[in-house]
């Protein structure tokens, strides 16, 4: 049970710290309400509209292509971990073939104008 | 034989079985194509939990097989999700619905 | 590592990727020639397959086995893909879609089917299956502007993905029991696992694997997606699904169930037999009241899967040999029937059976060919289907499962009704008023010649393929 006690301590500490800091800060500072302070932070851009909108379908196409390429990269990790134990020339050649195949997919998506904003 | 975290194998298997059942229930019960897809993804993740848990408990030397299997399941699941979502997008553009109960041009 | 052992797959995948690149380079009007690229690639892959070893050698770290069964399935899938390519060139261009992308997907799907068939490890088998399935989902929904095709693709995808996850869960349980992913190692480890009392978990795994593969081959009660997928898909793809995708499912059952889980005790052979009877009966009976010919052929192919499962249920060498022979026969007769349908629909004719009225007058050649294919699917003597059913029945009787033979015979009698309906409509119904003569392209003509010759050859001189099928089934272990 000892290990679960650690988790419990972490959970309590994790909740107590932000709650405590925010409460402490709120009780010490003066209050000057301003609409600009309430606005969400958009990396310096001026926010507009509501977040609960229907996103443009173009985003999904990008997301799908990103998803596939991102997950394919998972095969690079076992290769990298085992690289020193493999015969290097062949192992390197294999991963080059793998990446070239991904590049063909990328090239196709690019030339089919999937990557340009509609 | 418990793992390093002290959780016995049966614990992982129960979690995986629960995930699988929730996913299967979602996939069979829901009519929204996206929800069905989410159910299927949950089922695939249950498989991965199973594989990784087993890989920790099977006799030494056989563990890597399960982990590699899990990696392949992961990659295939992503490809499957991409193709499936693309199809759902096409259907929703043309039909204004992704409710599979309403996608029924063919009968017999 | 020796990559020479997978040259057929490497060639086919490379041709697929070359087609993708050519798609963006070659202007659209001149893409007809890309059909030739695909055909050459498939022929090259077949030649490479013929030169591979076939002595049961293992390759790529034991992931791949090169036995006669591998050779058989490689050639079977390549022949199917070749016929699909021949008769999709005009069809796809007529629908105004990208031919190169289509052919590339056919190449990838076939590569997947071949990888599945030569796998000696469940991981590579699964990757091959998914390469096949994911490409096939896209192919089924390829006619983006036709709502029926969208619907076919979506339904095929949702059912197929569900099947994959069930199959995988079963495989994960088998891995848990045995600690192995290699097919022969699983078979060996299952023997000891049973003595340690893990047979329930292993049987659960086997059951889930069978359910997953049952979805993929459209066995009853997991067949409900098949009619919609066949009706809505492009016609060449309906042929592809019924020949290559189903053949791959059968290959997976042979490797996973008959070989890897063969040592499992229990009466699962009988269960498989029950599944077979159920599948053929439901398929045949439902086919009786279909009005659309693609839909009718979908139920007919569900019934054919039932016949094939009978051979797997028997499980003897003769049973597996009969299954392989039937797959070869099925390739020619089904592909031929779909080719006739495709050439008619390219000529602007509908897919309802009533649209076939008077075809015997309008296009006697196509009508004769369609009659031959229907006769073969039914199992009339002197056709491939007859020899196939005969060998299945023989294997069932010798394997001590005579009730399966009775089931096949009774079902063949039921199926007379719907095949006869098509023949009667073609030959006896009056010709409609504004009937136009039907023209065919050279590619379609070639596909028709190959399928007709194949159907009749296997019916009249079956010895060569029989010998090949039996040779391939002896060494499966």
Model pLDDT, residue C266 = 67
Flag residues of chain C having pLDDT under 70: 1-3, 265-267, 433-440, 477
B81 touches chain A (CB under 8 A): yes
Model pLDDT, residue B8 = 86
Model pLDDT, residue C435 = 60
DSSP string, C190-234: HHHHHHTT-HHHHHHHHHHHHHHHHHHHT-TTS-THHHHHHHHS-
B90 touches chain A (CB under 8 A): no
Digit-coded pLDDT (tens) for B47-101: 999 999 999 888 767 778 899 999 999 999 999 999 998 888 888 878 777 777 7
A75 touches chain C (CB under 8 A): no
Q: How many CA atoms lie within 13 A of C185 on its CB side?
A: 15
Top residue of A54, A71, A76 to mutate, by most chain B CBs within 10 Å, is A71
Distance of alpha carbon C52 from alpha carbon A75, whole angstroms: 29
Residue where the block lists tokens 């995986």? B16
Model pLDDT, residue C265 = 66
Cβ atoms of C16 and C111 within 8 Å: the answer is: yes
**Are B81 and A75 a contacting pair at CB < 8 A?**
no
Alpha-carbon radius of gyration of chain A: 25
Distance of alpha carbon C306 from alpha carbon C323, whole angstroms: 11
- Encoded tokens for C225: 């997606």
Cα torsion for C258, C264, C265, C271, to the nearest 10°?
-50
What residues does C352 pair with on adjacent strands? C292
Find the closest chain B residue to C128 by CA distance: B76
**Which of A90, A101, A108 lies at the smallest CB-CB distance from C24?**
A108
Find the closest chain B residue to A2 by CA distance: B6
Q: Which is nearest to C225 in space by CA: C131, C302, C139?
A: C302
Rounded to a whole number, what is the distance in Å from the CA of B50 to chain C's nearest CA? 6
Helix/strand/coil for B1 = coil
User: Would you give the DSSP letter of residue B32?
Assistant: B
C157 touches chain B (CB under 8 A): yes
**Are B37 and C158 a contacting pair at CB < 8 A?**
yes
Model pLDDT, residue C398 = 92
Cβ contacts of B86 on chain A, cutoff 8 Å = 61, 64
**Are B71 and A67 a contacting pair at CB < 8 A?**
no
Cβ contacts of C153 on chain B, cutoff 8 Å = 87
Estimate the share of chain B in helix, then strand, then coil, as percent rounded to the nearest 5.
Answer: 75, 0, 25
**Are B106 and C227 a contacting pair at CB < 8 A?**
yes
Cβ contacts of B36 on chain C, cutoff 8 Å = 158, 162
Number of Cβ within 10 Å of residue C3's Cβ equals: 13
**Are A68 and B86 a contacting pair at CB < 8 A?**
no
Residue where the block lists tokens 């996973």? C256
- Encoded tokens for C163: 């099947």
Longest alpha-carbon distance in chain B: 56
Q: Give yes or no for residue B107 having a pLDDT over 70.
A: no
Q: Which is nearest to C141 in space by CA: C163, C162, C156?
A: C156
- Encoded tokens for A3: 């290990």
Cβ atoms of C204 and C170 within 8 Å: the answer is: yes
**Are A3 and B89 a contacting pair at CB < 8 A?**
no
**Are B69 and C122 a contacting pair at CB < 8 A?**
yes
Rounded to a whole number, what is the distance in Å from the CA of C133 to chain B's nearest CA? 9
Cβ atoms of C209 and C167 within 8 Å: the answer is: yes
Find the closest chain B residue to A78 by CA distance: B68
Binding partners of C (≥3 Cβ pairs within 8 A): A, B
Distance of alpha carbon C200 from alpha carbon C166, whole angstroms: 17
CA distances from C282 to B90, C223, C389, C398 (A): 33, 10, 18, 26
The CATH class of A2-111 is: mainly alpha
Residue where the block lists tokens 């028709």? C448
DSSP string, C236-297: HHHHHIIIIIHHHHHHHIIIIIIIITTT--SSHHHHHHHHHHHHHHHHHHHHTT--BHHHHH
What residues does C182 pair with on adjacent strands? C121
Model pLDDT, residue B4 = 59
Cβ atoms of C244 and C276 within 8 Å: the answer is: no
Cβ contacts of A101 on chain C, cutoff 8 Å = 17
**Are A111 and C24 a contacting pair at CB < 8 A?**
yes
**Are A78 and B71 a contacting pair at CB < 8 A?**
yes
Rounded to a whole number, what is the distance in Å from the CA of C278 to chain A's nearest CA? 40
Rounded to a whole number, what is the distance in Å from the CA of C62 to chain B's nearest CA? 13
Rounded to a whole number, what is the distance in Å from the CA of B107 to chain A's nearest CA? 31
**Are B54 and C175 a contacting pair at CB < 8 A?**
yes
Cβ atoms of B51 and C171 within 8 Å: the answer is: no
Q: Give yes or no for residue B3 having a pLDDT over 60.
A: no
Top residue of B55, B75, B93 to mutate, by most chain A CBs within 10 Å, is B75
Rounded to a whole number, what is the distance in Å from the CA of C236 to chain B's nearest CA? 19
What residues does C119 pair with on adjacent strands? C64
Distance of alpha carbon A66 from alpha carbon B78, whole angstroms: 10
Flag residues of chain A having pLDDT under 50: none
Q: What angle do CA C287, C289, C293 make, to 5 degrees?
A: 65
Backbone angles phi, psi at C352, to 5 degrees: -75, 150
Q: Which helix (H) or strand (E) holds C59?
A: strand C57-59
Helix/strand/coil for A49 = coil
**Are C1 and A90 a contacting pair at CB < 8 A?**
yes
**Which of B5, B6, B78 lies at the smallest CB-CB distance from A68?**
B78
**Which of B46, B66, B103 lies at the smallest CB-CB distance from C169?**
B46
Q: Which helix (H) or strand (E) holds C58?
A: strand C57-59
Alpha-carbon radius of gyration of chain C: 21
Cβ atoms of C119 and C63 within 8 Å: the answer is: yes
**Distant-in-sequence, close-in-space partners of C245: CB < 8 Å, separation ≥ 6:** C109, C113, C132, C133, C136, C216
**Which of B6, B74, B89 lies at the smallest CB-CB distance from A57?**
B89
B76 touches chain A (CB under 8 A): no
**Complex-level ipTM:** 0.93
C52 touches chain A (CB under 8 A): no
**Are B78 and A3 a contacting pair at CB < 8 A?**
no
């Amino acid at each position: 049970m000892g290990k679960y006690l650690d988790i419990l301590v972490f959970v309590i500490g994790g909740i107590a710290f932000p709650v405590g800091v925010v409460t402490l800060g709120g009780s010490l500072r003066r209050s000057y309400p301003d609409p600009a302070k309430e606005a969400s932070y958009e990396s310096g851009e001026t926010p507009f509209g509501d977040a609960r909108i229907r996103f443009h379908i173009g985003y999904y196409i990008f997301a799908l292509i990103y998803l596939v390429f991102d997950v394919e990269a998972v095969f690079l990790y076992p290769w990298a971990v085992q690289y020193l134990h493999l015969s290097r020339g062949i192992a390197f050649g294999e991963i080059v073939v793998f990446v070239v195949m991904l590049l063909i997919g990328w090239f196709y998506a690019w030339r089919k104008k999937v990557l340009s904003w509609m | 034989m418990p793992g390093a975290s002290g959780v016995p194998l049966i614990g992982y298997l129960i979690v995986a079985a629960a995930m699988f059942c929730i996913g299967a229930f979602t996939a069979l019960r829901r009519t929204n194509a996206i929800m069905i897809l989410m159910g299927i993804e949950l089922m695939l993740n249950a498989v991965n939990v199973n594989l990784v848990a087993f890989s920790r408990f099977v006799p030494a030397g056989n563990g890597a097989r399960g982990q590699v299997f899990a990696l392949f399941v992961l990659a295939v699941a992503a490809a499957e999700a991409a193709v499936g979502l693309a199809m759902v997008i096409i259907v929703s553009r043309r039909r204004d619905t992704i409710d599979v109960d309403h996608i029924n041009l063919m009968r017999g | 590592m020796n990559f020479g052992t997978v040259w057929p797959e490497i060639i086919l995948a490379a041709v697929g990727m070359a087609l993708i690149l050519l798609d963006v380079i070659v202007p659209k009007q001149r893409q007809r020639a890309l059909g030739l690229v695909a055909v050459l690639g498939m022929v090259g892959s077949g030649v490479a397959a013929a030169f591979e070893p076939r002595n049961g050698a293992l390759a790529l770290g034991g992931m791949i086995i090169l036995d006669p069964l591998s050779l058989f399935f490689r050639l079977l899938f390549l022949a199917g893909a070749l016929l699909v390519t021949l008769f999709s060139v005009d069809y796809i261009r007529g629908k105004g879609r990208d031919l190169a992308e289509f052919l590339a997907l056919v190449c990838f799907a076939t590569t997947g089917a071949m990888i599945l068939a030569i796998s000696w490890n469940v991981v590579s088998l699964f990757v091959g299956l998914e390469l096949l399935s994911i490409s096939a989902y896209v192919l089924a929904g390829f006619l983006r502007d036709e709502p029926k095709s969208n619907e076919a693709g979506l339904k095929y995808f949702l059912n197929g993905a569900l099947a994959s996850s069930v199959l995988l869960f079963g495989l994960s349980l088998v891995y848990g029991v045995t600690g192995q992913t290699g097919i022969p190692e699983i078979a060996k480890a299952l023997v000891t696992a049973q003595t340690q009392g893990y047979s329930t978990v292993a049987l659960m795994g086997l059951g889930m694997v069978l359910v997953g593969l049952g979805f993929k081959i459209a066995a009853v009660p997991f067949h409900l997606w098949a009619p919609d997928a066949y009706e809505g898909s492009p016609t060449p793809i309906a042929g592809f699904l019924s020949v290559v995708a189903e053949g791959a499912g059968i290959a997976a059952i042979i490797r996973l169930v008959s070989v890897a889980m063969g040592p499992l005790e229990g009466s699962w052979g009988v269960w498989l037999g029950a599944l077979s009877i159920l599948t053929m009966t439901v398929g045949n009976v439902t086919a009786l009241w279909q009005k659309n010919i693609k839909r009718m052929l979908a139920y007919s192919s569900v019934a054919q899967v039932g016949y094939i499962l009978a051979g797997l249920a028997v499980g003897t060498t003769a049973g597996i040999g009969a299954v392989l022979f039937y797959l070869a026969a099925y390739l020619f007769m089904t592909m031929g029937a779909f080719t006739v349908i495709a050439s008619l629909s390219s000529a602007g004719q509908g897919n309802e059976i009533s649209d076939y009225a008077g075809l015997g007058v309008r296009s006697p050649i196509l009508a004769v060919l369609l009659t031959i294919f229907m006769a073969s699917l039914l199992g009339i003597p002197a056709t491939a289907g007859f020899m196939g059913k005969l060998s299945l029945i023989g294997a069932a009787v010798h394997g001590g499962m005579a009730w399966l033979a009775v089931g096949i015979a009774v079902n063949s009698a039921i199926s007379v009704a719907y095949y006869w309906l098509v023949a009667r409509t073609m030959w006896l119904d009056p010709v409609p008023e504004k009937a136009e003569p039907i023209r065919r392209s050279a590619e379609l003509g070639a596909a028709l010649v190959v399928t007709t010759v194949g159907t009749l050859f296997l019916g009249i001189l079956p010895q060569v393929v029989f010998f090949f099928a039996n040779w391939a089934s002896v060494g499966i272990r």
